[in-house]
């Protein structure tokens, strides 16, 4: 009886804590909820001495909820005090204090930026309590952990209007993000007016057609696209709009790679004579800027106009995915390498970046680039945006350079966020809300001093498969909410479910705004788990788990289908379909998962080399989880290895008879993914001494189109090892030539 009472009070205290948690994203650092409430008046009285620009924004955001008037009296509903900057030894421009009593709301900050952030908190409190017109009495003292909290938008693959870009900026402001990274130039289109070079937009801002559907389909729409670009007056308008919301706009002008649109307009800047055209496909292309005097003069002139338009401290110069094919074949480039005692073409890339940096520094600005600018040595004052993983950020910080962490595995919002079968077509990868929320921008490898060089975190939205702004909204929401809390420094993956509840509450606001957000967290999600030397399928939902219904016969579940209670054993090939029901009504998409089992399914597997961080979902277990990867969706069912072989050893648990071994590999050259070069199969009884029983080469893999089935004779072994050889360096004539190829591998089975 006593134990039952104790359990009751523990549950009660947890409930009270949950109820007392304010519906705020990002959650503040210090929150004290007091007794009483502030009742929203019919007309909200603003002190007339409030900062004007920020207060006008506040009124506009709440114009459909409240009426406003101003008063010069100190007993107005909202008053503001600017704190003296001498009051603290280390000032934070984004610090604010928000105190709500039953009588008044008071904001204190050192700057207008802090005041603006306090207003975002107040707006959320007002909107989430609009129904009963009461805001809880509370005192909040708050400031972000990271100085750079960013969102990126690619407008080159698909273009978005000035009004849509402004909406995007408004979303950043709502959730206290402070940096907008505007990707303005690429192979598929040049999107910024440069008055000295008009052909950049008359020629480079359009393409003859666009790829549609999955990359492997190689299908095009046959429709001219553009010319689409922003005039300099429009750029100024957007920058002003962002500045009013205390958001810094960082422009990106790609170099030396991703330059086809510019080379189409000014072919003399290339290593060859062309002809060129803006790319109609997605991917990486061999034709890049040639590091000669006229190229540097062109880029310096372009950057001069860009710097005049953007007051940001940093100018992003790209630097990523620059194939060295043309440079290797170019007499000028080879002479330049020799003249400057450069080691190779990677050294030439460093020379290119450092030349540009000197010019940007001379204008009082600094450069930032993707982590490939580390190739050949980092420019003296450059900052790194670490996207291929955390390695670039770690290397930069350890050498005393600032870094922004934006690893693809956590921060690429063009990836799938739910079951790919129920989601719009995306680039690939699998980055659900909980994974974004779990990210810690400070790598464990850094000590406290080195960690100071981590400026913050950013998410990127590449638009190869995003044709309109509704899809932009779908891809960033609700993941941007998780990013905002990560950047603010109050995320805690142990409390993810509580955060998820706040997200669902925020959906009411997004509904009111007409935002097309993803409802993936309502769907039933499945996870393959190891169980009894095999596998089971664990289902979950953000809602009441008692509402999950599932079938095993391939039919869609109904309200009368089997209720999910425990993980579903998968002992044979089958299809599990699941959905969430509420009061007998279907509330989610139907999720479907096919399993193809074999004698390796669910067994113990080890890898000699680990997959790339961006394509490592589920780790080695992904290769024996009974799920075969979809060639059109590089999501959670494939492991990706760049420049590495796959060497997997499977412990079958006991001596097991089998006569066929199979695995899948992938070919998607536009994304630098190539079929394996060869494969070998080995067996062992002790896990130490292995005998090769089968070997195949590239021709056989090509003939099988990556779906490899090998007759290995009658085997009876405890251990099975398979080595799948990476294609190595991508050969000339292919996207990404001279770079390390990707090897994508899926299910390894034995029959």
| Sign of the Cα pseudo-torsion (397, 431, 488, 169, in order) | positive
> Count of CB atoms within 10 A of residue 742's CB?
25
Q: Per the residue annotation, which of 258, 401, 415, 674 is the catalytic one?
A: 258
Q: Is 321 a catalytic residue?
A: yes
**Which segments of 587-664 are extended strands (E)?**
591-595, 604-607, 639-642, 646-664
C-alpha–C-alpha distance, residues 197 and 89, integer Å: 48
Residue 213: count other Cβ atoms within 10 Å of its Cβ. 13
Query: For every residue of 135-163, which 3-state class applies, written as one string?
Result: EEEEEEEECCCCCEEEEEEECCCCCCCHH
Interhelix angle 232-244/293-309, nearest 10 degrees: 50
Number of other residues whose CB lies within 10 A of the CB of residue 86? 7
Neighbours of 155 (CB within 10 A): 23
Name the token pair of 127. 């909107």
CB within 8 A of 607, min separation 6: which ones? 620, 646, 647, 648
Q: How far apart are CA 622 and CA 163, in angstroms?
A: 43
Name the active-site residue from 287, 321, 357, 746.
Answer: 321
Task: Using DSSP, state whether 6 is helix, strand or coil.
Answer: helix
Compute, in degrees rounded to 10, the torsion defined by CA atoms 329, 334, 335, 339: 170
By CB atoms closer than 10 A (0-12, 13-18, 19+), residue 595 is buried
β-strand partners of 649: 606, 721
Q: How far is CA 218 from CA 68, 282, 429, 629, in A?
A: 56, 10, 20, 19
Q: What is the dihedral of CA 474, 174, 407, 460, to 10 degrees?
A: 50
How far is the C-alpha of 550 from the C-alpha of 577, rounded, in Å? Answer: 5
Is 444 marked active-site? Answer: no
Buried b (16+ CB within 10 A) or exposed e, 702-728: eebebebebeeeebebbbbbbbbbbbe
Question: How many residues would you count in the chain?
Answer: 751
From its phi and psi, is residue 194 left (phi > 0), alpha (psi between -120 and 50) or beta? beta
Q: Which two tokens stand for residue 160?
A: 């978005």
Show Cβ contacts of residue 191 under 8 Å, excluding neighbours closer than 6 positions.
155, 156, 159, 184, 185, 205, 228, 229, 230
Q: How many Cα neighbours within 13 Å face the side chain of 694?
A: 22
Calculate helix-pair angle for 479-488, 496-513, nearest 10 degrees: 120
The question of whether 94 is a catalytic residue gets the answer no
**Which residue among the candidates 54, 142, 186, 419 is catalytic per the annotation?**
186
* Angstrom distance (rounded) from CA 664 to CA 333: 40
Handedness of CA 569, 570, 574, 576 (dihedral sign): positive
Chain centroid to Cα 347, Å, comes to 30
Q: How many CB atoms lie within 10 A of CB 260?
A: 26
* Residues annotated catalytic, as ranges: 186, 258, 321
């Amino acid at each position: 009886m006593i134990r039952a009472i104790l359990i009751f009070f523990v549950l009660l205290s947890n409930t009270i804590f949950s109820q007392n948690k304010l519906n705020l994203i990002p959650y503040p650092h210090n929150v004290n909820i007091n007794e009483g409430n502030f009742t929203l008046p019919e007309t909200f009285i603003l002190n007339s001495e409030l900062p004007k620009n920020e207060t006008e924004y506040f009124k506009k955001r709440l114009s459909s909820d409240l009426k406003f008037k101003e008063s010069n009296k100190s007993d107005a509903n909202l008053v503001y005090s600017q704190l003296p900057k001498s009051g603290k030894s280390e000032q934070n421009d984004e610090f604010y204090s928000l105190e709500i009593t039953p009588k008044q709301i008071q904001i204190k900050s050192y700057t207008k930026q802090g005041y603006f952030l306090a207003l975002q908190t107040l707006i959320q409190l007002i909107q989430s309590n609009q129904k009963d017109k009461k805001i809880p009495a509370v005192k909040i003292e708050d400031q972000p952990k990271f100085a750079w909290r960013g969102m990126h938008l690619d407008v080159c693959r698909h273009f978005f209007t000035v009004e849509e870009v402004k909406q995007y900026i408004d979303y950043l402001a709502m959730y206290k993000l402070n940096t907008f990274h505007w990707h303005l130039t690429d192979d598929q289109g040049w999107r910024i007016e440069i008055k000295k070079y008009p052909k950049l937009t008359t020629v480079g801002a359009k393409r003859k057609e666009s790829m549609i559907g999955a990359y492997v389909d190689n299908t095009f729409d046959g429709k001219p696209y553009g010319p689409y670009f922003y005039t300099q007056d429009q750029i100024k308008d957007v920058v002003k709009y962002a500045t009013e919301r205390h958001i810094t706009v960082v422009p990106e002008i790609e170099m030396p790679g991703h330059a086809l649109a510019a080379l189409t307009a000014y072919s003399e800047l290339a290593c060859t004579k062309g002809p060129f055209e803006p790319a109609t496909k997605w991917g990486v292309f061999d034709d890049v800027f040639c590091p000669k005097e006229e190229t540097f003069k062109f880029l310096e002139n372009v950057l001069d106009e860009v710097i005049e338009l953007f007051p940001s401290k940093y100018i992003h110069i790209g630097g990523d995915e620059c194939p060295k094919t043309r440079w290797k074949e170019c007499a000028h480039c080879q002479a330049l390498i020799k003249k400057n005692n450069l080691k190779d073409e990677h050294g030439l890339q460093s020379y290119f970046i450092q030349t540009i940096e000197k010019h940007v520094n001379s204008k009082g600005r600094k450069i930032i680039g993707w982590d490939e600018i580390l190739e050949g040595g980092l420019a003296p004052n450059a900052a790194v945006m670490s996207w291929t993983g955390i390695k670039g950020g770690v290397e930069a910080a350890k050498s005393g350079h600032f870094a922004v962490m934006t690893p693809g595995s956590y921060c690429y919002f063009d990836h799938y966020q739910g079951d790919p079968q129920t989601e719009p077509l995306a680039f690939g990868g699998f980055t659900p809300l909980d994974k974004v929320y779990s990210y810690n921008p400070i790598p464990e490898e850094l000590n406290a001093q080195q960690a100071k060089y981590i400026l913050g975190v950013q998410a990127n939205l590449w638009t190869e498969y995003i044709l309109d702004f509704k899809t932009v909204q779908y891809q960033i929401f609700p993941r941007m909410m998780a990013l905002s809390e990560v950047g603010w420094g109050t995320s805690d993956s142990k409390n993810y479910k509580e955060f998820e509840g706040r997200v669902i509450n925020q959906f009411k606001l997004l509904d009111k705004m007409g935002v097309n957000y993803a409802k993936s967290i309502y769907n039933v999600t499945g996870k393959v788990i190891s169980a009894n030397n095999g596998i089971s399928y664990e289902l979950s939902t953000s809602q009441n788990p008692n509402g999950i219904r599932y079938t095993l016969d391939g039919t869609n579940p109904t309200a009368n289908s089997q209720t999910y209670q425990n993980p579903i054993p998968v002992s044979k090939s089958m299809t599990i379909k699941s959905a969430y029901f509420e009061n007998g009504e279907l509330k989610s998409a139907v999720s479907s998962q096919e399993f193809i089992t074999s004698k390796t399914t669910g067994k113990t597997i080890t890898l000699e080399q680990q997959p790339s961080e961006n394509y490592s979902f589920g780790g080695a277990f992904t290769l024996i989880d009974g799920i075969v990867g979809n060639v059109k969706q590089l999501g959670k069912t494939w492991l990706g290895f760049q420049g590495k072989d796959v060497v997997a050893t499977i412990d079958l648990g006991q001596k097991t008879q089998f006569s066929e071994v199979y695995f899948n590999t992938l070919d998607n050259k536009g994304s630098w993914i190539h079929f394996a070069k060869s494969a070998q199969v080995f067996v062992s009884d002790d896990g130490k001494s292995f005998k090769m029983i089968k070997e195949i080469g590239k021709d056989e893999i090509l003939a099988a189109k990556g779906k490899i089935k090998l007759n290995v004779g009658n085997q009876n072994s405890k251990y099975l090892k398979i080595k799948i050889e990476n294609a190595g360096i991508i050969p000339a004539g292919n996207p990404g030539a001279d770079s390390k190829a990707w090897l994508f591998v899926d299910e390894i089975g034995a029959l």
